[in-house]
Amino acid sequence: MRNKQLYLDVFTESLAGLQAYRRQGEEADTEYRRILSALQKAVEGELTDRQRECVYLCFYQGLTARQAAQELHIHESTVSRHLKKAKLRLEKVLRYSFGRLE
């Protein structure tokens, strides 16, 4: 998984305020790419191994929480919890790095 590029559009769209960047068009495209780059670095450096695995399986490989749970041999609710905590942590990192995104 390390050599594959992580496409986080689906994941980042659910983070507060990033939808506005997508709607603003071309002038915000550079800023949006900068945020995606920062987010990818945050995924690599700020998340626990298990959170990162859940994010990769659900948002990169497109597995459901149930499928990811089977892959990781953990309960589905544990996958959901890891995804929620990862999202909160990444949102916090983005807000710190870029100020209020809304």
Tens-digit pLDDT profile for residues 37-88:
877 888 888 899 999 999 889 988 889 999 999 999 999 999 999 999 998 9
Inter-residue contact 8 to 35 (CB < 8 Å): no
Q: What angle do CA 53, 43, 30 make, to 5 degrees?
A: 135
What does pTM read for this prediction? 0.67
Distance from first CA to last CA of the chain, Å, rounded? 32
Mean predicted confidence (pLDDT) in 11-22? 52
Q: In 3-state terms, the chain is what percent helix, strand and coil (to 5)?
A: 75, 0, 25
pLDDT of 32 higher than 80: no
Residues with Cβ within 8 Å of 3's Cβ and at least 6 positions away in sequence, in order, are none
Q: Compute the distance between CA of residue 76 and CA of residue 8 in angstroms, rounded to an integer.
A: 21
Residue 2: the pLDDT is 40
